[in-house]
Amino acid sequence: MGNTLATGAGLVVLISIFGPISGARFNPAVNLVFTLRRELAWRDAVAYLAAQVVGGVLGVWAAHAMFAASIWQVSTKLRDGPGQVFAEAVATFGLILTILGTLRFRPALTPAAVGLYITAAYWVTASTSFANPAVTLARSLTDSFSGIAPVSVPGFLAGQLAGALAAAGLCAWLFRPAAVAMVKVD
């Protein structure tokens, strides 16, 4: 529970701080969706991807240093099977839906909604809701409880890609101007 609450609370803070600077670009799956929506240039998406992966790795190494663990590790925690892959698709789908829905209807609530969603998704998905390719790659470099064995990474990435694309498609239809005009939001 402590790890879940810390992650959700940390996301609220980070999104609130970095949203005005970079759009809070921490997640390659989110970048992909914004690129497909033509709200982020491909060139910028690639630059963010590099920064996200490097930042994730540096974050893992910093955590290892804080807890006096070996800096270089490779996870041995298998997270395999169709249920895990589907859970990542569901987790990423929900994250994209949360982001696009709050940006469309309640932009000021986006940081809180994302933090709350990730906190909840940790408990309701079999995968514990990585929902972020950069996080998935970084967590392959920790042999802690939060790690993912490198052999499990491709399935998670596939699930995240599928979830992001499905959510992008649904949101393009669901949040189109004609559909939104029929809904009154207070």
Instruction: Write the CB contacts of 180 (distance below 8 Å, at least 6 apart in sequence).
Output: 104
Q: Which domains does the chain have, with CATH numbers?
A: 2-181 (1.20.1080.10)
How do the pLDDT tens digits run along the chain, 186 residues long? Answer: 778 899 999 999 999 999 999 899 999 999 999 999 999 999 999 999 999 999 999 999 999 999 999 999 999 999 999 999 999 999 999 999 999 999 999 999 999 999 999 999 999 999 999 999 999 999 999 999 999 999 999 999 999 999 999 999 999 999 987 766 565 555
């609220």: which residue's tokens?
12
Whole-structure pTM value? 0.93
State whether residue 64 is helix, strand or coil. Answer: helix
What is the rounded CA–CA span in Å between residue 51 and residue 138? Answer: 12
Calpha distance 168→164 (Å, rounded): 6
**3-class SS of residue 95:** helix
